Chain A
Amino acid sequence: MIHQIHYLSLSTMLFIIGIWGVFLNRKNILIMLISIELILLAINFTFIIFSVYLDDLVGQIFALMVLTVAASESAIGLAILVVYYRIRGNISVELINLMKG
């Protein structure tokens, strides 16, 4: 029997994997974007689980909203990436260090 808790642990694991992806990744900014997508998906998953579990439609509506936000976010992120690449010539995370405090 698959319980609520299994779904939740799955989504949490996805979320943490996404965070680790952002955090541990030193090379490729694309992976970072993908990790962010993964985080958003994990959250979406959680929304849907709770929507089903609580028998409430709002969660799914919210999930749809998050999908659109995630899509636009990745579009804009990729656009920035392209612009960045055009200027700097590489997209290595290590070399993005112009934002010193």
Chain B
Amino acid sequence: MYLLAIFSPLIGSLISILGGRWVGSKGASLITCSFVSLAALFSTMVFYEVALCGYTCHLYLTTWISCGMFNASWSFMFDSLTGIIMIVVTYISALVHFYSVEYIAEDPHRPRFISHLSVFTFFILLLVSADNFVQMFLGWEGVGLASYLLINFWHTRLPANKGAIKAMLVNRVGDVGLTLGLLIVFYLFHSIDYATVFAAAPYFKHYSLNLFTFEVDALTAACIFLFVGSIGKSAQLGLHTWLPDAIEGPTPVSALIHAATMVTAGVFLVARCSPIFEMAPISLSIVALVGGITALFAATTGVFQNDLKKVIAYSTCSQLGYMIFACGTSNYATGIFHLANHAFFKALLFLGAGSVIHALADEQDMRRMGGLAYLLPFTYTMMLIGSLSLTGFPFLTGYYSKDLILELASTTYSVPGHFVYWVGILSVILTSFYSFRVLLLTFLNNTNAPQRWVGHVHESPSFMSMPMAALGIGSIFSGYLIRDMMVGTGTDFWGAALFSLPYHTHPIESEFSSTLTKWAPFLLSNVGIVLALLLNVGLSRFATNLQLSSLGHTLTFFFNKKWYWDNVYSYYLIRPALGFGYNISFKALDRGVIEIFGPLGLTKSLPLWAKQLASMQSGQLAHYAFMMLVGTTFLVTIVELWDVIFLFLDYRTVGVLFTSALFIMSGF
């Protein structure tokens, strides 16, 4: 059962990709959907046994790599952290599978698509259920690969190719960090098993490591490198640029990548490594700061985007910032809680957006939408639920996790904690602003869509609606239902899965914080909603004038162009790197120095030398006689003056002369 929960998506994927020809498009959909549903069913059972009943399960399959002290095995560990993420992933994935059966129905490559969705699910399950870092890394890379294949599903589209390559490469930057982190972990602990590493982590608290001649705290270094991996996968500031471009894939893919699976891997990693992170407070501060800045950055950027999916993508980025800074303030359980809740409403938002896009003949620009509330009442309802949940409207899912994150941040006794509190509370306004901007521009404002589209607008078929309805129910209830289990006072749900030092968290203080602190997120999100209504409905002319003023113009461009992160990267990082690659490492080194010292120099100069040598044989007898005389004289001179010559000439000089002759002869 445990293994089937992990491997059934893989089985479904393999059947549909290898046998897609025989089972056909519908058959492939049916098979993968049923296998993923099976995984969801088994995950529920796993969750019941592991998380609810508290029996942590450890399955050892076989040895993978055994080499000296290094011992990586194929083995799985199921604890409550794994259980909760498995259940979220499999459920969201099953719903996305059902949704995409209809969404992608007219595409000729449905078996490939749905198989990639399944393999994606498999890799994320492998990631969360691993019991050692290497197997986790396998899942980590597999998820990156699957995201590449999915974003690039329409591989004839240039933006899809670019987006997929960007996703892959930017993730790879994080993966390098993760790899370094794993190396440091293995160097310190001589083991890559979670159990060993986490048990031994406190003993390495003041252990220092010589890194490039700098003495650094070993655990801090390890944590920072691991967190670099998280930054890449969870699209935190710095390596966030891939996430908005990942919307080039079909919408269900965005739902899967952004909502449930890929981006959550980074949060999962930080939560899983909580015993190490707790021992390295500096790295925790960094985690919190990066998460906080990401939350603000993505929220400000999301406000100024006009692409429906891009707004939601930045919203994901922002919410991930919340999760990460929750982890950074040692409230791992709250971070995971928000992850689980966010999966529901973000998947709902993406699927709703997909429904809108589907209805509007693949138009994604919100400025060309509007008035769809009358034509798509169901989608509107679902998007409204999702948006309210995202803004943290009371008693919806987002309320329970997001407000809790902010309350917990407000009661920390550290500077980074307070910083992220203020940043988070500022992002709340922006979050509700852009959420309602989406609703207004898409559903409520007067329509801007061409008439011929409006005539064809229709509600999505049931295969797309039902998953949305299910997610809508999840978005309403999941936060309330799992709140006491995951973050209730004194809950023992997590067992040994998460670890935070007693003096790092202050749940009681946050429980009894001031009324204003408790109300602040709600009030501020209402401010955001009112602002959105004012600026997009009542005072829209004023808003336009504000944007057209010189400062407003600059600011709008600044936020619309994502704080110019992409421009800065391409001007100062990517272009110089490409230039270096072509001009220096390719032209000067590969085609230059190495070739001239190697094949090119020899092939060019040896024939020249040979020709010159050969031209000395003119055929004239007198010349030969002359050469003989000169040769004899030369030989005698050398022999006689050997001691003197040796003073000035040694083999190194000869070598230098020889190689410089190569340069001259090859016409460099």
- Residue positions of A touching B, CB distance < 8 A: 19, 22-23, 25-26, 29, 32, 93-94, 96-101
Contact = CB atoms under 8 A, between A and B. Distances in A.
A43 to B, nearest CB: 15
Contacts of B615: 101
Nearest to A100: B619
Interface stretch (B139-147, B276-284, B437-445, B621-629): B621-629
Given A101-B614, A101-B615, A22 B620 contact: no
Nearest to B629: A23
A96 B625 contact: no
B622 A100 contact: no
A99 B623 CA distance: 11
A96 B629 contact: no
Contacts of A22: 625
15 contacts: A19-B629, A25-B622, A26-B622, A29-B621, A93-B620, A93-B622, A94-B620, A94-B622, A96-B620, A96-B621, A97-B618, A99-B619, A100-B617, A101-B616, A101-B618
A101 B626 CA distance: 15
A101 B615 CA distance: 7
Interface in B572-621: 613-621
B620 A97 contact: yes
A21 to B, nearest CB: 10
Contacts of A96: 619-621
A22 B615 CA distance: 22
Interface of B: 613-622, 624-626, 629
Given A19-B629, A23-B626, A23-B629, A93 B621 contact: yes
B337 to A, nearest CB: 89
Nearest to B616: A101
A1 to B, nearest CB: 31
Nearest to B630: A23
Contact of A23 (B613, B619, B620, B625): B625
A67 B42 CA distance: 112
Nearest to B626: A23
Interface residues of chain B: helix, strand, loop or mixed (majority): helix
Contact of B619 (A26, A32, A98): A98
Contacts of B618: 97, 100-101
A23 B173 CA distance: 75
Contacts, number: 37
A98 B624 CA distance: 12
Contacts of A93: 620-622
B509 to A, nearest CB: 98
Given A96-B620, A97-B621, A100-B618, 12 more contacts: A22-B625, A23-B622, A23-B626, A23-B629, A26-B622, A93-B622, A94-B622, A97-B618, A99-B617, A99-B619, A101-B614, A101-B618
A25 B624 CA distance: 12
A66 B617 CA distance: 30
A99 B624 CA distance: 10
A58 B97 CA distance: 109
Contacts of A26: 622
Contacts of B629: 19, 23
A41 B18 CA distance: 96
Contacts of B620: 93-94, 96-97
Contacts of A97: 618-621
B628 to A, nearest CB: 8
Contacts of A99: 617, 619, 621, 624
Contacts of B619: 96-101
A30 to B, nearest CB: 13
A97 B622 CA distance: 10
B620 to A, nearest CB: 5
Nearest to A25: B622
Q: Which 5 A-B pairs have the closest CB atoms?
A: A101-B617, A97-B619, A100-B619, A101-B614, A96-B621
A19 B615 CA distance: 24
A100 B613 CA distance: 12
Nearest to B624: A99
A22 B629 CA distance: 10
B635 to A, nearest CB: 15
Nearest to A29: B621
Nearest to B615: A101
B25 to A, nearest CB: 76
A99 B617 CA distance: 8
Contacts of A94: 620, 622
Chain A CB within 10 A, most for which of B616, B620, B621, B624:
B621
A29 to B, nearest CB: 8
Q: Which of B613, B614, B619 has the most CB of A within 10 A?
A: B619
Nearest to A99: B619
A29 B622 CA distance: 10
A27 B615 CA distance: 23
B536 to A, nearest CB: 91
Contacts of A25: 622
Contacts of B621: 29, 32, 93, 96-97, 99
Nearest to A21: B625
A101 B614 CA distance: 5
B334 to A, nearest CB: 89
B573 to A, nearest CB: 58
A26 B620 CA distance: 10
Point out which of A22, A26, A93 has the most chain B C-beta atoms below 10 A from its C-beta: A22
A68 B619 CA distance: 30
Nearest to B620: A97
A100 B617 CA distance: 6
Tell me which of B615, B622, B624 has the highest count of chain A C-beta atoms within 10 A of its own C-beta. Answer: B622
Contacts of B616: 101
A64 B47 CA distance: 115
Nearest to A26: B622
A96 B620 CA distance: 6
Contacts of B622: 23, 25-26, 93-94
A62 B162 CA distance: 91
Nearest to A93: B621
Nearest to A97: B619
B618 to A, nearest CB: 7
A19 to B, nearest CB: 7
A32 B47 CA distance: 109
A22 to B, nearest CB: 5
Contacts of A100: 617-619
A101 B624 CA distance: 11
Nearest to A19: B629
Contacts of A23: 622, 625-626, 629
A93 B614 CA distance: 21
